[in-house]
Chain A
């Protein structure tokens, strides 16, 4: 499996185990009725972000140790083509989400509902980005 595909899998797993629970708890709504800045929700977000950094950091260290040569190999033309395709796909998701968050939601929502919608958009764009990377490498394997 190419090193960059492993990194993409790692990123998908890191998002699933950190922002999956975050959005589940946020949707369940234990902090929904607290006044801004809503420290409970903020703490939950901070925990998810720190957990994601730890999972990614540990994963990167492990993968680098397992295949140090691959980790230092610069991307070749196929890697760059896959990267370009995946970023293009994620861009459309990000733009669509940001139009909803920035242009539609202010008329109907406020506070953490908008922040969470923005986070969903960013995470969805990242999921699309890494999914396209994994799919592209699998298809050409």
Chain B
């Protein structure tokens, strides 16, 4: 199995979108503020649908939000 981890740029994207709050982003994609915090911290991997919703909110491709980093 390929070893690696999922990283994300949600914090930076929120900042570049008028310092959008975690609660507002959560409302827009249908999850709680705590779930956004867990995703941002890399402690919860969202479903593919939620990941696409997040990318859609920021109007960027999915790879601009989430990135898979392979461990050597």
Contact = CB atoms under 8 A, between A and B. Distances in A.
Interface residues of B, number: 13
Nearest to A3: B32
A2 B38 CA distance: 11
B44 A78 contact: yes
Contacts of B32: 2, 70, 73, 76, 78-79
A70 B31 CA distance: 11
Nearest to A76: B31
- For the complex of A and B, 5 pairs with smallest distance between CB atoms: A76-B31, A140-B38, A140-B43, A78-B35, A2-B34
Contacts, number: 31
Interface of B: 26, 30-32, 34-35, 37-38, 43-44, 46-47, 50
Interface in A81-109: none
B38 A78 contact: yes
Contacts of A141: 34, 37-38, 43
Contacts of B30: 76
Question: Which has the most chain A C-beta neighbours within 10 Å: B30, B34, B37, B44?
Answer: B34
A7 to B, nearest CB: 14
Contacts of B44: 78, 140
Contacts of B35: 76-79
Contacts of A139: 43
Contact of B31 (A78, A137, A140): A78
